[in-house]
Amino acid sequence: LSYCGLALRFITEDYKLHNFILGCILYDIDSQSANNIRLFVDAQLLSFGLTLNNKIFVVTDNENKMRAAFKEKCTRIGCSIHYLSKQLEHSFTSEEIDRTFVRCTEIQKLFDNVKKVVTHVRRTHRQVKLKQKLQLYSDTRFNGAFYMLNVFLNVFDDIGSVLSSGYIDYLTGVDKDLLEEVCQFLIVFDNAINQLSEEERPTMHQVLPIRQLLIDHCEVIFEDSSELKELKLFLGERIRSVWILQDQHYICTFLHPRLKRFDTAPHEKDIAFNLVKQELLARISTPSVTTDTASKAVATDGTVIIDSTAPVNSNNLLDRCFDKPRPITSSDATPVKELNDYMALVVADEQSDDILLFWKNHEKTFPTLSKIVRDFYAIPASNTIVERLFSASKNIVTDRRTSLAEAKLNKLLFL
């Protein structure tokens, strides 16, 4: 049986973010073609009095059938965590991707040895003797390799006591130093996935800076082992080429007052500025405002952040991406005064902790930009709210409860 998860997310006029799970609904159409998926989703939305149009954003995973299903009468946004998790999966499990060999041979040997030991210990029910329960790798779990490897590292010294003799060779094939090095490297990816999957706060503005931070994290340094260098090179290149930013990512990053100068990704700044300017002009109805903009320069600098930035070793990845303090500079005149004033705004650190509260407090000063925020900041960086819905269903459909009527799963999830 297949199920379709649907969730609704929006920001009210009072700048409150709301999430509503519409359902986990039995998919009762014969094939999962793009056309059938779209027909099914449209029918389910219509039952709630909802329809898709070009002003609605739809966040899905990045499978080809989902891309095709939502290419019209909506704006599809790819799930950022799906992009990232797939590349992590390839680095540990794929020999070839897009007709290119995955050159992570030693890392994959390490992964395979750990997986064989973990599978054996769990199957023989001997892990009760360990201080921590081993985690079996699952390709449906985001960053699943990290969780398996990290728990294995935590009990590494005790594993030998619960192994059968036939599996000792797999354990001795695991280099503990390399295992520790890989786990330390993957922690940042786990932090990124956790931050981008947050449901109660806006996350779209975090995608661009965190993506850039991960690319920088994959830069090879002298101290890296040769095995980790292979992993870094592969992941860095895959993130650049596969995890493609969309216009909404640029706009949302720019509309965070502590990210608008793009200190973490200066090469993206002009793209973001021009997209925000374009969106702003499209929403301004006064002809006199829009006719003379092409020849006018708009200031892209002129902001200072008061207070110190977060420590470099902060676990919050976004803290590492905030713009650095700098003196106020003068800005050129521009017909788009609202945008110019936003660039010149002086913001204290604590004023931007709650980004929706910040825009609520500045709504009268920046009326058009604040409307853009309400529209775009409602877009989640990922579709994990639906993924968690599927995970919750595992707690309902168990080995002892397999005869539930198909429609009852949806009802039980909401009890």
pLDDT tens-place string over residues 17-45: 999 988 888 888 989 999 999 999 999 99
Domain ranges of the chain: 1-79+383-410, 82-242, 247-380
| Predicted local confidence at residue 70, as pLDDT | 97
pLDDT category, 127, cuts 50, 70, 90?
Answer: confident
Classify residue 298 by burial, with Cβ atoms within 10 Å: 0-12, 13-18, 19+: buried
User: Using 50, 70 and 90 to split pLDDT, how confident is the model at 196?
Assistant: very high
Of 5, 16, 7, whose CA–CA distance to 374 is shortest? 16
Distance separating alpha carbons of residues 364 and 360, to the nearest angstrom: 8
Unique residue bearing structure tokens 């990124």: 192
pLDDT for 299 equals: 39
Residues 35 and 3 sit within 8 Å (Cβ to Cβ): no
Strand spans (E) along 34-82? 57-60, 75-78
In the chain, the amino acid numbered 201 is: R
Alpha-carbon distance 369 to 355, whole Å?
A: 13
Asked if 309 and 319 touch (Cβ cutoff 8 Å), the reply is yes
* Nearest alpha-carbon partner for 269 in 282, 250, 296, 255: 250
The predicted model gives 207-227 an average pLDDT of 97
User: pLDDT for 290-335, tens place per residue?
Assistant: 333 333 334 334 333 333 344 456 677 777 777 776 654 444 434 4
Calculate the average pLDDT of the chain: 85
Residue 309: the pLDDT is 42
- One-letter amino acid at 285 equals S
CB-side neighbour CA atoms (13 Å) of 147: 17
CA dist 90 and 104 (Å) reads 10
